[in-house]
Amino acid sequence: MNGSRQGYWIFLGAWWIIGFALGISGFQTYSQLNGMQWQFSEILYRTIQLIVLESGAVGGKLNWMLESARYLLPALTGLTAVQALMHLFREQRMWIQIKSLRGHVVVCGYGHKGSSLARDLLANGYKVVVIDVNQTIFDPTDPAIAGIHFVPGDARDASILQKCNLQNASHLVCMVSQDQANLEIALTATKFLGSNRTQPLHCVIHLESTELLSLVKGIELDSDISRSLVVEVFNPYTHAARQIINEDDGWLTQQTSDIRVPSPILVIGLGRLGANIIQQVAYRCYRQKKTGKLTIYIFDSDANQKSQRLLQNHPHLEKVCRLIPTNVDLSQNFELESAIASISAEPPKRLYLCLSNPILSLQIVLSLQKNPIFQLVPIQLRIGNEINLLNILCKTGQIKPPQLIPFEMINRTCSAELVVGGLEEALAQGLYYNYLTGKGINQIDKPWLGISEAEKQENRAQARRITALLGKFNFQLRALVNWDAADFTFVEKDLLQMAIVEHDKWRINKQNAGWTYAAQTNPKQKQHRDLVSWQDLPHIERQKNIQFVRELPLLLADLGFQIEIKE
């Protein structure tokens, strides 16, 4: 029951109370005026009879309270019955609509992440069914979500999944707040589906725990799990950290030929986002073979213990990082200033503010910008839905936009592209940024969000070809645990054959899209000079294809995956 409808029923209930009060008082006064001296049980019984027009026809002296109740209670009865029938009709119509859906997305959990995803799915043309135990958080009268079907209940219950027509859905997104519950939903779906689907259901499991993430990621692309279910893992913090680092101009300018260790950085808030950012920058330094160790200052209320836990879970960090944690009560400005003073000898050149508390984050930004150490230091700021407040602070001059780089955590990560697109979407974005790097183009100048849908689809097609290509040659992708996985090499025979298959698939996709061969490439006319067989392909283009396949392990490692040979 949404808020507005709940308010309506409360309003109607109040009138019922008024009607009963008028009826009881009216019959009590009537019995006294007419010398009947009725007992309370008789008065209550006659008041209840007013609902069905049984006791209102009385003679003798009447009073205004009884007169009002004789009309009010029957009217309320009719109004309540009509509303109940309308509610029942709406529910039955909803179940009929859900039953007729095909290829829809079932989203389990309508919290901040689930609601953002559901809205984005709807905006991108998907048919959406939402499951949540809390009915009050969903308002179908909101025009922004008109068209989303809401099913109240626990998604771990097979009967609830059945009501959502899961058998004909394309995706099941498990996005409730507890990791264990998300895994239980996926397990229920596995038992419920059976093996009679023509196309597998893509089950996307939202996991925040890095331990569970590594465990489940190991099976997410294994086609032998079930012919009816393809398991994929979604971790918003991993995606967010990768996007933040990929779009950070300070890291883009760190050339691989420069072996000097980057300048120190400061991470404020060592939660899941902060920990993932540290892992991303550490991996980048490791792959670029920087000399020395990167100094990472950490400010958190429990920085020492969290840092120790991070190193225990990821011991390879010590190879490239020197973590310097400082326990700080970030709500106390004098403690923050004291912590900053302790690092002034070697101040950071980049700052990542990863707190989940938006108000506290903005207070810290205001404090940092008054400190001379941070006058020119770019601040990557995690925000939720506080963009309007941030804009106000920028307009009033309290915050200086040039050095503040906001990152909308939920909107950027809980999107239809990333969640439903899964690995292929991550691959597509990685391919695009890899292309920009090869062309010497700054990723910030031409971000993924700013390119045309046609360009995105071309990269997505290439991503699909990669996953199919690896499967064809008996390779599989696993979660990245080996930082040297980027050095994986294909044997020469496989390398050549994979390059040939990749070119043939690219050529067929282009031709299916209406492209034809021409001596000179002309995108406007959909003409391309490389639309020929491998044998007729110029030598330099053959080498480009071979080099692309050779660099796949590095590209995939940067995206958090490693290539392994299927057993």
Q: For residues 273 and 140, what is the distance between their CA atoms, to the nearest angstrom? A: 33
Q: Kindly report the number of other CB atoms within 10 A of residue 477's CB atom.
A: 23
pLDDT of 118: 92
Cα-based distances in Å from 224 to 1, 200, 231, 564: 42, 12, 11, 16
Among the listed residues 219, 215, 129, 218, the one whose alpha carbon sits nearest the alpha carbon of residue 179: 215
**Environment class of 51 (CB within 10 Å of its CB; exposed 0-12, middle 13-18, buried 19+):** middle
pLDDT at 87: 64
Residue 323 CB contacts under 8 Å (≥ 6 apart), including other chains: 278, 296, 298, 307, 310, 311, 317
Helix and strand element counts for the chain (H, E):
20, 16
pTM over 0.85: no
In this prediction, the residues of the chain whose per-residue pLDDT falls under 50 are 1, 218-226, 254
Q: How far apart are CA 148 and CA 340, in angstroms?
A: 48
Q: What is the pLDDT of residue 483?
A: 87
Q: Which residues pair with 265 in a beta bridge?
A: 296, 350
Element of type H or E holding 16: helix 3-33
Task: Output the pLDDT for position 234.
Answer: 85
> Which residues are registered as beta bridge partners of 132?
152
- DSSP for 482-511, please give it: -TTGGG----HHHHHHHHHHHHHHHHHHHH
Per-residue pLDDT tens over the stretch 369-415: 788 888 888 888 888 765 665 665 565 555 655 578 888 888 888 88
User: Residue 388 has what pLDDT?
Assistant: 60
| Residue 155 to residue 392: CA distance in whole angstroms | 40
Say which DSSP state 61 is in.
-
- H runs (alpha helix) in 400-513: 409-413, 416-439, 453-472, 492-512
Rounded Cα distance between 432 and 388, Å, is: 31
Helix axes 453-472, 416-439, angle to 10 degrees: 90
pLDDT score, position 107: 96
